[in-house]
Amino acid sequence: MSAVLAGSLVGLALLDSTSIGTLFVPIVLMLVPGRPRAWRILSYLATIAVFYLAIGVLLMLGAGALFERFGEALDSRPAYWVQLALGVGVFLVSFRFAPKRRAAAGKPPTSNWAVRARRSTESPGALIALALTAGLLEVATMFPYLGAIALIAGSGFDTAATVAVLAAYCAVMILPATLLLAARVALSERVTRTFTKLVNWFEKHASGATGWILAIVGFLVAGDAALRLGLFDGWLNG
């Protein structure tokens, strides 16, 4: 795996780590009064990671069949030009999701998730169901993950390597929330104020997050295509 591909995948995974399901809900769970039940929050994070991995494997199976049939056509300069155009298109579409354009949407989507998260804390089964619900509802907006799958599909990995890369991606995706949980357990109430500020910030800026995610995904997908096309060779070798 090239350093450029690895860096792109890590960047996309960290983008995925900032979604409602992978960051906002876990922080809300950590702020439930009393000492946090770490194993329950870890079960939530593990569930959503496994869900993402399963979705990724299913999508990669479809992509694998596509590459078996059209591999030569997809691994060609015309195909990379199409990828470049799609990346630029996604980047331009991101401006339609600017916060000012989304202001009329009313209360932020995070408010309902906060209520659901607080209601799920008493039951491990409820937390697992919450994680699956979050994953299902975010399938349509898995822009970073879809971008990562597109990059992996075009990299020629075999099945075992593909699953390993997807698993690593999902591990990086839940890493920030896991580190925050470790801080919550270790520092207890001393981080409550900071975590509360994070929740408030998330609620304030959630409406514009889709635009930023689309912009970064579009940039990375277009950048990968540009590198494959050698558009930067003169600059990089100069």
* Residues 52 and 139: beta-carbon distance below 8 Å: no
pLDDT (average), residues 16-27: 88
Backbone angles phi, psi at 211, to 5 degrees: -60, -45
Backbone angles phi, psi at 123, to 5 degrees: -130, 125
According to the model, what pLDDT value does residue 10 have? 93
49: pLDDT confidence band, cut at 50, 70 and 90? Answer: very high
Local structure of 145: helix, strand or coil: helix
Which element (helix H / strand E) includes 171?
Answer: helix 159-187
According to the model, what pLDDT value does residue 72 have? 67
Domain spans in the chain, listed from the N-terminal domain onward: 3-237
According to the model, what pLDDT value does residue 14 have? 92
60 exposure class (CB count in 10 Å sphere: 0-12, 13-18, 19+): buried
37: pLDDT confidence band, cut at 50, 70 and 90? Answer: confident
* Closest residue by Cα to residue 88 from 222, 197, 225, 190: 222
Which pLDDT tens digit goes with each residue over 94-142?
Answer: 777 655 555 444 555 555 666 667 667 666 777 788 888 877 777 767 7
Which pLDDT tens digit goes with each residue over 51-66?
Answer: 999 999 988 877 666 6
Q: In sequence order, what are the residues at sequence separation of 6 or more whose Cβ sits closer than 8 angstroms to the Cβ of residue 48?
A: 21, 22, 131, 132, 134, 135, 174
According to the model, what pLDDT value does residue 53 have? 94
If you average pLDDT over every residue of the chain, what do you get?
79
Which pLDDT tens digit goes with each residue over 147-180?
Answer: 888 888 777 788 899 999 999 999 999 999 999 9
According to the model, what pLDDT value does residue 9 have? 92
Single pTM value for the model: 0.72
According to the model, what pLDDT value does residue 142 have? 79
The span from the CA of 9 to the CA of 21, in Å, is 19
* Residues 111 and 221: beta-carbon distance below 8 Å: no
Q: How far is CA 205 from CA 142, 191, 225, 226, in A?
A: 18, 21, 31, 31
- Percent over 70 (pLDDT), the chain: 75
**Exposed e or buried b per residue across 7-27, where buried means at least 16 C-beta atoms within 10 angstroms of its C-beta:** ebbebbbebbbbbbbbbbbbb
According to the model, what pLDDT value does residue 118 have? 67
